[in-house]
């Protein structure tokens, strides 16, 4: 089943769940709207990879907003954002663990023969092409910086 079809089926399910499916329905509607906006912007229909990129961007926006709301003491909003991210991540590939990312970065660093921070850009370019959609870019960057120190 295509990702967009799965989103539509889950939206119908959330509609039937009424009150229990309210948040899921809201998140799926938002996701579908973002997908539609991207399709209009590009003038084409997105495939599953394109849809995953849109959903990953939505998760990233929520992750970025979390810190602000935590500092402001808005635990209610933090909880809601975490729930929304959980719902969105159901439609994304499994994220790699920190250990898995470290192993991939170690291989890339060996392959490129780099040793210091000046070569971080080279490492990140290769790493993000391999890890796109599988790991958070911020985490990859942080680990790469540690490994190149």
**Topology (CATH) of 98-148:** Arc Repressor Mutant, subunit A (1.10.10)
Are the CB atoms for 66 and 82 separated by under 8 Å?
Answer: yes
28 pLDDT band, cuts 50/70/90, is very high
CA separation for the pair 148, 99 (Å, rounded):
16
With tokens 């890890």, the residue in question is: 131
Q: Please tell me the CATH code under which domain 3-89 is placed.
A: 1.10.1510.10
- C-beta of residue 26 within 8 angstroms of C-beta of residue 17: no
Domain locations in the chain as residue ranges: 3-89, 98-148
| Band of residue 34 on the pLDDT scale cut at 50, 70, 90 | very high
Work out the average pLDDT over 108-136: 82
Instruction: State the chain's mean pLDDT as an integer.
Output: 87
Q: How far apart are CA 16 and CA 129, in angstroms?
A: 40
- Please check the confidence at residue 29 and state whether its pLDDT lies above 90: yes
Per-residue tokens: 91? 């439609």
Question: Which H helix or E strand runs over 37?
Answer: helix 22-42
> Any idea which of 61-65, 101-105, 133-137 has the lowest mean pLDDT?
133-137
What phi and psi values does residue 120 have, to the nearest 5 degrees?
Answer: -55, -40
Q: What is the pLDDT of residue 133?
A: 73
Q: Using a pLDDT cut of 70, give the percent of the chain over it.
A: 99
Cα 27 to Cα 70: distance, rounded to the nearest angstrom: 21
């Amino acid at each position: 089943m295509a990702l967009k079809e799965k989103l539509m089926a889950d939206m119908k399910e959330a509609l039937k769940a009424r009150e229990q499916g309210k948040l899921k329905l809201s998140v799926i509607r938002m996701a579908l709207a973002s997908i539609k906006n991207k399709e209009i912007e590009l003038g084409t229909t997105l495939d599953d990879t394109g849809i995953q990129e849109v959903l990953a961007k939505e998760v990233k926006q929520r992750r970025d907003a979390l810190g602000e709301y935590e500092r402001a003491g808005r635990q209610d909003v933090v909880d809601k954002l975490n729930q929304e991210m959980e719902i969105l991540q159901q439609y994304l590939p499994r994220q790699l663990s920190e250990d898995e990312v470290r192993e991939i970065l170690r291989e890339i660093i060996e392959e490129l023969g780099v040793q210091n921070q000046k070569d971080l850009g080279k490492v990140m370019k290769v790493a993000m092409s391999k890890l796109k959609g599988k790991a958070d870019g911020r985490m990859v960057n942080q680990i790469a910086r540690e490994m190149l120190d």
